[in-house]
Amino acid sequence: MIDPEILRKDPDILRAALSKRGAPDSTDDLIAKNQHLRSLKTQWQAAQEERGQLSKTIGAFLQAGDTASAEAAKARVATLKETLDTLKTQQDQAEEDFLAAWQAVPNIPLPEIPEGKDETDNVEQGLRWFGPSSVKSGVNVDPPHPHEAIAEALRGYDAATAVKMSGTRFMMLTGHLARLERALGQFMLDVHTQEHGYTEVSPPYLVQAPALFGTGQLPKFEEDQFKTTTGHYLIPTAEVPLTNMAADCILQESVLPLRFTAHTPCFRSEAGSAGRDTAGLIRLHQFHKVELVSITTPEQAPEEHERMTRCAETILERLGLSYRRMLLCTGDMGFTAEKTYDLEVWMPAQKTYREISSCSRFGTFQARRMNARYRREDNGATAFVHTLNGSGLAVGRTLAALLENYYDGIGGLPLPEVLRPYMGGISILHTPFGY
């Protein structure tokens, strides 16, 4: 969440930010709730101080033989105790009301973020063509085949069995395709840990509500989560456990930035996505992703964002997949983000680009929710860290892109050279009967 001091210092910043995001202007209501809370705190403090002063005078009155004044002071102290109890109840309710409203306020976009209503207003930052889908080498498959059809022809995609066991939006990979999915995740992890300086983490897949609150999934996106009967939640992304490694910590500035990566399953209910991407590997309830998380100082965050995005782009380039970088507009940016780049990979069968990575800066938004701080070297003061995360990459979508971009149209799927060591030296997958 953002700093509530903005309501006193410059509420017009919040008003403008909500307008740019296309969100309802709740500024006046927030100011009123905040002022009511502050007023109750002031009243409680005044009553507490009066009670303390009166308590000190009772003994003096009794010592002086002024019984009447002592009894009057006692009566007033008793009344103040009731007042304090009432004010505390009112204060707790007012604080709950304000926090509930304040936690629903999205992050403030950075000044350079383009204003817009949805993805149509995002701004392309660059387009890069590689490998078999390059406009220079041409695409030999016309029309290109959907990735799920290629996967079925390779005898490695069994949607029917997955649906029978688990319902819609689940899939099962077998044989070489299951191995290829694993190879992709291992390749990504190796590049990020051995070349990009990320520390590999094997985190829990189940977390409690405070962890999801810290990264911003709760309470706003409760319906998107899978919750167990024990009160745990299946992680929607490794962002949750990786970022929460800094929760309730005071880090030394000298150790920042911290960089973590993990290859985990992700679980999402996909609420609100009925009818979208019902076939294939694009939108599933369970999928694998390699996540990148950075914990930084405010000064490090801008450069770290560019660096993280380049780390994700490197994976696409090594795999020979064409992509473009998009700067998201205010209307398409996530609730917790202050700036986001999306990387979109070319999908020939769909004749469009699809998101395969999202790299975001959050400022102190998540850090405030999870009380993640660092100690400055210059003055010893503590301040909130800045957090960033990105996909490096979504493994299932990467597999889908490989299938559509590399399939040769006559039954073969040549593999990028960087994956062949992870596939036991296999250079091409073949459909049993051609396709």
Q: Provide the pLDDT for residue 372.
A: 98
Percentage of the chain surpassing pLDDT 70?
95
Helix 67-102 crosses helix 27-63 at what angle (to 10 degrees)? 160
Specify the length of the chain in residues.
435
Cα angle 219, 102, 105 (rounded to 5 degrees) comes to 75
Contacts of 164 (CB under 8 A, 6+ apart): none
Inter-residue contact 154 to 433 (CB < 8 Å)? no
| Greater pLDDT, 126 or 206 | 206
Taking Cα atoms as reference points, which of 281, 343, 287, 350 lies closest to residue 315? 343
- Examine the pLDDT at 362 and tell me if it is beyond 90: yes
Strand 339-347 relative to strand 382-384: parallel, antiparallel, unpaired? unpaired
pLDDT at 137: 38
pLDDT at 355 > cutoff 50: yes
Chain segment 203-261, per-residue pLDDT in tens: 999 999 999 999 999 999 999 999 999 999 999 999 999 999 999 999 999 999 999 99
What's the mean pLDDT when you consider all of the chain? 92
As given in the structure block, the two tokens for residue 212 are 């999801």
Q: Residues near 240 by Cβ (< 8 Å), separated by ≥ 6? A: 207, 211, 212, 214, 215, 217
Is the model's pTM score more than 0.95? no
- For the CA atoms of 111, 113, 117, 121, the dihedral, rounded to the nearest 10 degrees, stands at 140
pLDDT tens per residue, range 9-55: 999 999 999 999 999 999 999 999 999 999 999 999 998 888 888 88
Instruction: For residues 34 and 39, give the distance between their C-alpha atoms in angstroms, rounded to a whole number.
Output: 9
Q: Which of 48-52, 91-95, 168-172, 348-352 has the highest mean pLDDT?
A: 91-95
End-to-end CA distance of the chain: 52
Mean pLDDT of 383-404: 96
Please name which of 266, 289, 268, 280 lies closest in space to residue 171, comparing C-alpha atoms: 280
**Both tokens of residue 337?**
């983000």
The owner of tokens 């899978």 is 226
Place of tokens 């369970």: 286
At 419, phi and psi to the nearest 5? Answer: -90, -15
Tens digits of residue pLDDT in 260-299: 999 999 999 976 555 565 678 888 999 999 999 999 999 9
Q: Is 308 helix (H, G, I), strand (E, B) or coil?
A: helix
pLDDT over threshold 70, residue 433: no
Q: Please tell me the predicted confidence (pLDDT) of residue 150.
A: 92
Nearest one of 118, 122, 109 to 343, comparing CA atoms: 122
The pLDDT value recorded for residue 133 is 58
Give the pLDDT confidence score for residue 101 in this predicted structure: 94
Domains defined along the chain, listed by start: 6-102 (1.10.287.40), 119-430 (3.30.930.10)
- pLDDT (tens digit per residue) in 172-187: 999 999 999 999 999 9
- Confidence band (pLDDT; 50, 70, 90) for 136? very low
Mean pLDDT calculated for residue range 411-432: 92
Give residues with Cβ within 8 angstroms of 302, minimum separation 6: 361
Residue 55: the pLDDT is: 82
Question: 113: buried, middle or exposed (CB in 10 Å: 19+, 13-18, 0-12)?
Answer: buried
**Angle at 385 (CA atoms; ends 288, 266), nearest 5 degrees:** 10
